[in-house]
Structure 1
Amino acid sequence: MAALRPADLAQAVGVSAQQVRNYEDAGVLPPVPRSASGYRQFSERHLEALLTFRSLVPGFGVIAARSIMRTVHDGDVPGALALVDAAHADLHDQRRRLHRTAAALAALAGGVTTGSAAAPAGVASGLRVGEAARLLGVRPSALRTWEAAGLLTPSREPGTSYRTYSPDDVRDAQLVLLLRQSYYGLAQVGSVLGELRRTGSTEALQAVLAQRREQLTARSLAMLDGAGRLFAYLSSEPSEPPAPSDPAAAASRASRTASPALAQGVPAQGS
């Protein structure tokens, strides 16, 4: 099997040769042998690893994808699969929170004009900031930031001045979170919520809700694509050490084996 140069792998996925070396250092690629003169000798196996990593990134993100590949190359396949499972579990949690937000929005739409909007079901009264944050899946500091921006108005416990969150406060925080996940600035969030309270219209929030559903669906599909590529990588046998060959032929072969997903515009990382 012919050896590949850093430039061959770089050309196959649309990054710089230096980025390929960075991937090697990060453990994204399996160990790379050197020639007698000290040159890196990449193989088809390294190209497969690089393509697998790049396929994981759209669904899992750069950090998780790097951790998955590094764990594989450390010889801990069960650990790598645990990272995959954790990412799927996180996505499932996001879907559940989105469902609760949709229910809260529906209740708000039904009663905002009469001042009798129902609070979220199953939410206790008097939650402390940490409890409310865990329910929402955010950091306590996020709730404090939203309060400082005038988006939330939790009560204060007499004597201790601890913040306490009612079911209505949690509902408002769910709506703030929905908008923030859709890249609304704090001022924009305030405008949308203000319009909701003035007119009772949930049209803007319903549009954001639909957009967020589409985002989660797209990420889920991307995770399936990446997991499929990872399965293929784990199922294939490592190839024999590379032998020197014509660089032009090696580059041509590397380009032909590139993933179709890359041709569809997966952004180059670190390029």
Structure 2
Amino acid sequence: MSGERLRPVDLARRHGLSTQAIRNYEQAGILPPAGRTSTGYRTYTSLHAQALRAFVALVPAHGHPTATSIMEAVNRGATEDALKLIDESHAQLLEDRRTLQAVESALRDLAPPEPPSAPEPGVTFVGPLARKLGIRPATLRKWERAGLVQPRRDPHTGYRVYSAADVRDARLARQLRRGGYLLEQIAPLLAQVRSAGGLAPLEAALREWHGRLSARGRSMLGGAAELDAYLRLRALTEAERQDGGAATAE
């Protein structure tokens, strides 16, 4: 199996890639070094084909940069480094699931904003709120310009004053940003939440978020299977090489 000889175009066609992409992947360490013919042309084997299958499967699971780092680590013999990268990616997926749960929990507690004439308990200022959310005050001001939060101004000091509803909006904005949503996507959602005082405007976004996390989890399973197959084939190829070397020495 490891003795099969493949051209760059053979690998490229199987995955809808260009031959230049195959050469780039080899240069980046995604593929192990290619053999060469007597005339200098690259030749690949089933080992390279499985490496490419593993990489292609790892990309939707971990992203292109991390998938590249995983394959590069494996191909330089640092399998433990590769496994650590995978562990970190799984931990990030778990954190993203917890973030989604936090968003859903926050949304369940939504209530219509109090009318302006009513007392506003729990008012806070930009600095304390930024520290509470783990962001910079400049980020809150940017969110205000984008329409995500709408604090009022203290008539005497001119300072921004965040009501309980403003804090809620800022907290939801923070969670949605962590979920990968852009400011221009979040602003209309929060505007609808403020006007409707309910979950309906965000239900579709949350379903989409759930779907993305589930797809990533499934991709991790597929990527792990292809990577395991590659690791097994690498071990087999190395054993064959060592057996061949021993036979030659005899």
**Rounded Cα–Cα distance in structure 2 between residues aligned with 1:15 and 1:154:** 51
Secondary structure of the corresponding residue to residue 207 of structure 2? helix
How far apart, in 1, do the equivalents of 2:176 and 2:207 lie?
11
Q: Offset at 1:192?
A: 2.5
Tell me which residue corresponds to 2:248.
none
Which of 38, 42, 45 is the aligned partner of 1:40?
Answer: 42
Measure the CA separation in 1 of the matches of 2:98 and 2:73: 29
Q: How does 1:211-250 map to 2 (within 5 A)?
A: 211-236=208-233, 237-239=235-237
Q: Which residue is equivalent to 2:149?
A: 152
TM-score (norm 1): 0.70
Alpha-carbon contact 1:128-1:162 (below 8 Å) kept: no
Relative distance call for 1:197 and 1:168 in structure 2 (3 A) is closer
Alignment of 1:15-34 (within 5 A): 15-34=17-36
* Conserved 8 A contact 2:7-2:44: yes
Distance in 1, matches of 2:14 and 2:107, equals 47
- Aligned position for 1:13: 15
Per the alignment, residue 92 of structure 1 pairs with 94
Offset of 1:11 from its aligned partner? 1.1
SS in 2 for 1:46: helix
Equivalence for 2:168: 171
Whichever structure has more helix as a proportion of its residues is 2
* 165 and 56 in structure 1: CA distance in 2 versus 1, 3 angstrom threshold: farther
Which structure 2 residues correspond to residues 187-202 of structure 1 after superposition, within 5 A?
188-202=185-199
Q: Which residue does 1:112 correspond to in 2?
A: 112
1:35-71, Cα deviation, whole Å (9 max, x unpaired)? 2221112111000000000011111111111110001
For each residue in 1:144-196, what CA deviation from the matched residue of structure 2 results, as whole angstroms up to 9, or x when unmatched? 5323313125799xxxx99998875553234335655465652x533332222
Shift in Å, 1:231:
1.5
> 1:86, 1:162 → 2: CA distance?
41
Q: In structure 2, how many angstroms separate the alpha carbons of the residues matched to 1:131 and 1:196?
A: 22
Match of 1:4 in 2: 6
RMSD: 3.3
Are the equivalent residues in 2 in contact too, given 1:178–1:208 (CA < 8 A)? no
Identity fraction in percent: 42
Q: Find the aligned partners of 1:155 and 1:75 in 2 and give their Cα distance.
A: 59
Contact persistence 1:60–1:223 (CA under 8 A): yes
Task: Output the amino acid matched with 2:32.
Answer: P
TM-score, with normalisation over the residues of structure 2? 0.76
**Cα distance in 1 for residues equivalent to 2:128 and 2:100:** 20
Deviation at 1:90, TM superposition (A): 0.6
Structure 2 gap segments, 5+ residues each: 242-250
1:56-90 CA-partner distances (Å, limit 9, x unpaired): 11111111111100011111100000000011111
Secondary structure at the counterpart of residue 53 of structure 1: helix
Q: Any idea what SS the aligned residue of 1:57 has?
A: helix
Check 1:13–1:209 CA distance in 2 against 1; reply closer, same or farther (3 A cut). Answer: same
- In the other structure, the counterpart of 2:130 is 129
Q: Aligned pair in 2 of structure 1 residues 215, 163: CA closer, same or farther (>3 Å)?
A: farther
Please state how far the C-alpha of 1:202 moved relative to its aligned partner.
Answer: 2.0
Counterpart amino acid of residue 58 in structure 1: P
> Residues 142 and 220 of structure 1: is their aligned pair in 2 closer, same or farther, counting only changes over 3 Å?
farther
Q: Which has the larger radius of gyration?
A: 2
| Residue ranges of structure 1 left out of the alignment (5+ in a row) | 120-124, 242-271
Q: Find 1:71's aligned residue among 59, 70, 73.
A: 73
How big is the shift at 1:224?
1.3
Q: Displacement, 1:140?
A: 7.6
**Aligned counterparts of 2:52 and 2:94: Cα–Cα separation in 1:** 27
